Every structure is written in structure tokens, then in C-alpha cells.
């Protein structure tokens, strides 16, 4: 992104629910003028990607990476109070991007070999912040990626980068505040796919608060049946949330 704020010295203003305007020091420039030197940013991948099925080059059978990655922005400073750190955490101008790398985390695998117009990772690769409570009732700034798919089989990592944008947009590249690579996840063929994982407590908690994070209700039901009826051997390993949604739509169409 080639962007530039109107003034590198200007603070970013945000309005809280109580209509009190707070100045968040400038983080747009490389020097981060006005921000405390002790301010540090890091990323914590709270929900790691594990498995996927290749989606190929069509949109009809696009399967998403499971479980959807959830990344938390962690802000720390030994010189700021919790309330001051909270103001940075609640700023709405953070933007996170996602790219796909090889399993070693050293090679960017975004482009398909032999065809530089097609990208290996498809879907919504940019995330915006959601500030809410996690499963331990602690406030955090979260970024969710429920719409990511991989075109090819193999083993990969996802790389997350976060910047803070704002001001008047001119030619400038915003500096990266933090970056993090995920654990290795695997993209399986249909017959080898191990099945989707159950909803986590974190995903449920964020969804309850309004986070745009689809939950897999059929998956939880399947697990409950296994626990109550003791029929784990009969559980389908090829369960797919997209298939279930399509079935529900068909049923509603006949009612």
C-alpha cells in the first residue's frame, strides 16, 4: 500500500462510546512520532490453521482452511497504564493482511508456479479489528480469517502482517507494526482430509459478541452424538460445513 498521512505529526483521533475524543499518537510514520518508545506490538495466533482441501481454480467447490485463523494483537509498554494501552488496543485503524508461505516459512508461496496471474491463497486475505472478550473474559483486539482457501495440496504456513492506516491517503508505504507466521497446516486431497475441527471456546465467545465468524453447528452436534451414544466409529470424516449449508437452503426452498 503506497499511502501517506496528511501530516506525520498529527495524532489519530478516535471517539469512544461516551463521546470522549482520545488522541492516539501517530503510528503511521517509521519514526512513530508522539508514540512512547516503550510501546511494542506483537501477534499471538490464538487459533492455528490445521487442515484444508484444495479448491482448484473454481469458486463452486471452494473449501475454507479449518479452523479459521484467529490472530490477537498484543500491545505492551512498561511506561503506560492499562487504560492508555487500552486506547491503542481499541483504535479502529489497524489492518491485517495474510499471505501463504512454504512449510519452512522462508519462501513466499503466494504465486502459482508458471502462472503469475493466479494466487495460491484465495478469499478474504485482509482483516479488520474486532475488540471483544475472549474465553477468559479478557479484552483483546482480534482479527479473524474465515474465508481463506488454498488452490493446491501441500504443507504451508500463513503469514500475518499488521499496519495502522489513516490520515489523507497519498503515496507512502505504512510500516509494519508486527508480523507472525502460523504453524504448518496441510492441504489434503478429498479422500485424505481428516474432517473439520470442533468450534473452540474462543470462536464461540467472539461470535456471541457480534464477531463475523461463522460457527459449525453441525460439527458440534456430531461431537455430542459421539459422546452420548458412543458411536465415534460412525462419525463422518468428510463432514463439510458448506455441504450442510447447501442442504439447509434446499430444504427451505421446498417449505
Contact (Cβ atoms closer than 8 angstroms) between residue 150 and residue 158: no
What CATH number should be reported for the domain holding residue 111? Answer: 2.60.40.3960
What share of the chain has pLDDT > 90, as a percent? 55
| pLDDT, tens digit (0-9, with 9 covering 90-100), for 110-128 | 999 877 678 999 999 999 9
- Judge whether 239 lies within some domain: no
The string over 88-109, giving b where at least 16 C-beta atoms fall within 10 Å of a residue's C-beta and e elsewhere, is bbbbebbbbbbbbbeeeeeeeb
CA–CA separation, 85 vs 88, rounded Å?
5
Distance CA 241, CA 248 (A): 11
pLDDT of 205 > 60? The answer is yes
Q: Would 215 be classed as within a structural domain?
A: no
* Number of structural domains in the chain: 1
125 belongs to a structural domain: yes
Range of the domain at 168: 12-194
For residue 209, tell me if it sits in a domain.
no
Residue 230 lies in a domain: no
Q: Over the stretch 68-101, which tens digit does the pLDDT of each residue have?
A: 999 999 999 998 899 989 999 999 889 999 999 9
- CA dihedral (71, 159, 122, 51) in degrees, to 10, reads -70
List all residues 6 or more positions away from 233 whose beta carbon is below 8 Å from its beta carbon. Answer: none
The answer on pLDDT for 108 being more than 60 is: yes
pLDDT band with cut points at 50, 70 and 90 for residue 46:
very high
Average pLDDT (231-249) is 39
pLDDT of residue 56: 82
CB 60 within 8 A of CB 122: no
What would the pLDDT profile of 131-185 be if each residue is shown by its tens digit?
999 999 999 999 999 999 999 999 999 999 999 887 544 546 678 899 999 999 9
Identify the residue with better confidence: 22 or 35. Answer: 35
205 three-class SS: helix
Alpha carbon distance 116, 69 (integer Å): 26
Amino acid at each position: 500500500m503506497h499511502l501517506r498521512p496528511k501530516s506525520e505529526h498529527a495524532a489519530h483521533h478516535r471517539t469512544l462510546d461516551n463521546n470522549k475524543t482520545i488522541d492516539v499518537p501517530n503510528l503511521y510514520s517509521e519514526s512513530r512520532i508522539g508514540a512512547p518508545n516503550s510501546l511494542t506490538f506483537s501477534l499471538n495466533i490464538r487459533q492455528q490453521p490445521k487442515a484444508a482441501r484444495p479448491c482448484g481454480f473454481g469458486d463452486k467447490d471452494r473449501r475454507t482452511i479449518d479452523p479459521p485463523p484467529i490472530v490477537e494483537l498484543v500491545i505492551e509498554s512498561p511506561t503506560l497504564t492499562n487504560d492508555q494501552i487500552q486506547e491503542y488496543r481499541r483504535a479502529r485503524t489497524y489492518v491485517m493482511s495474510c499471505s501463504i508461505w512454504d512449510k519452512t516459512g522462508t519462501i513466499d508461496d503466494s504465486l502459482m508456479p508458471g502462472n503469475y496471474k493466479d494466487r495460491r491463497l484465495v478469499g478474504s486475505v485482509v482483516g479488520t479489528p474486532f475488540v471483544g472478550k475472549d474465553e477468559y473474559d479478557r479484552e483483546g483486539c482480534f482479527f479473524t480469517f474465515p474465508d481463506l482457501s488454498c488452490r493446491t495440496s501441500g504443507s504451508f504456513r500463513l503469514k500475518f502482517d499488521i499496519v495502522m492506516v489513516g490520515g489523507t491517503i497519498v503515496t507512502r508505504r505504512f510500516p509494519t507494526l508486527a508480523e507472525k507466521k502460523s504453524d504448518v497446516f496441510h492441504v489434503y486431497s478429498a479422500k485424505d482430509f481428516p474432517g473439520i475441527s470442533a468450534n473452540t471456546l474462543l470462536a464461540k465467545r467472539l461470535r456471541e459478541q457480534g464477531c463475523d465468524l461463522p460457527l459449525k453447528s453441525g460439527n458440534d452436534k456430531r461431537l455430542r452424538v459421539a459422546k452420548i451414544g458412543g458411536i465415534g466409529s460412525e462419525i463422518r470424516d468428510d463432514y463439510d460445513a458448506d455441504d450442510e449449508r447447501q442442504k439447509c437452503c434446499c430444504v427451505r426452498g421446498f417449505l
